[in-house]
Structure 1
Amino acid sequence: MKSEMNTNIKLAERKLELQKLQLNFVRTGNNKHRVEEQEQVLQLLYSSPDLLHSSKTNYDTKENNLYKYLNVLTAYASNEKKYESVKEFYLNQCEG
């Protein structure tokens, strides 16, 4: 049980980190709608601990359109290689 809790905390931290990086990345562009969507995803994570800590990657996008971002975010955050790759991509993009 404790291991699962640590895993969920790590997953939650990764989701927040990647989402913040994604938001910073889209802010460099001119697409206000995309920025607003990414801000909404971050707010969704902060306001819904069950979504933040969940490893589920198939939330119904018909229920909430933002779930498409959550599903991808969770898939990347729960896989070490994907997580590191996406994190590196965003960090490199934000530097340039």
Structure 2
Amino acid sequence: MKLDQIRKEIDQIDQELVALLERRMVCVSEVVAYKKAKGLPVLDQGRENKVLEKVASLVDDEQYRSTIQAQFRDLMARSRDFQEEVKARD
């Protein structure tokens, strides 16, 4: 496969990822509203640990597992940052 073809495929995947990440952030916004209404903290370490365990179990190729888990750690950290920002605005 040529580099241009590989990059085209990556571009397509990136487009799909952006749409999925945006959908995820809509859900995060709903979580913010729920936590605010119930007086719950932003960080739920137990939930994050479960997400990371599930992610690890979904990865087929072992060589990618730690990288994908790291990406999810970062994703959840960015989600927490967003939740804190929304909480501070209200």
Do these two structures clear the TM 0.5 threshold for a shared fold by scoring above it? no
TM-score (normalised: structure 1)? 0.35
TM-score (normalised: structure 2)? 0.37
Instruction: From the two aligned structures, give the one with the greater helix fraction.
Output: 2
